[in-house]
Amino acid sequence: MIASTTNDIPGKKVTKVLGIARGNAIRARHVGKDIGAFFKGIVGGEIHEYTKLMAEVREQSIDRMKDDAERMGGNAVIGVRMATAMVMDGAAEMVAYGTAVVAEDDNYGQS
């Protein structure tokens, strides 16, 4: 499944637009990770525990968006965007969304 932030895919031609594909995931902070983050916040620097947490939730959201596009009959998602929001204290939602399409090889100009 191709997922692209652009509205076209080089070498492919969109033959059908299926609609909005979306995927979301909500993750809560972990008490053990919060302790490490607290101390990192005092001395400064990247909070690796949260970076890893957000990377995991981002990939899960993208995977769910691709699954949604596949359920609609698509083989690609174009115009992919992501958003995040706090849903409660200590929990964040990550949403991935884009346009599910059917994209075929663009054989324009080939014999």
CATH code (residue 42) = 3.30.110.70
Q: Is the model more confident about 23 or about 48?
A: 23
Give the position of tokens 């409660």.
Answer: 88
pLDDT tens per residue, range 46-89 = 777 778 888 889 999 999 999 999 999 999 999 999 999 887 77
> What average pLDDT score do residues 8-21 get?
96
pLDDT tens per residue, range 83-110 = 998 877 777 889 999 999 999 998 765 5
Structural domain contains residue 73: yes
Structural domain contains residue 110: no
The number of folded domains in the chain is 1
> 64 near 96, Cβ under 8 Å?
yes
Between CA 13 and CA 84 the distance in angstroms is: 31
pLDDT of residue 52: 82
> Whole domain around residue 24: which residue ranges?
2-105
Which ranges of the chain would DSSP assign to H, the alpha helix? Answer: 31-43, 48-71
Structural domain contains residue 111: no
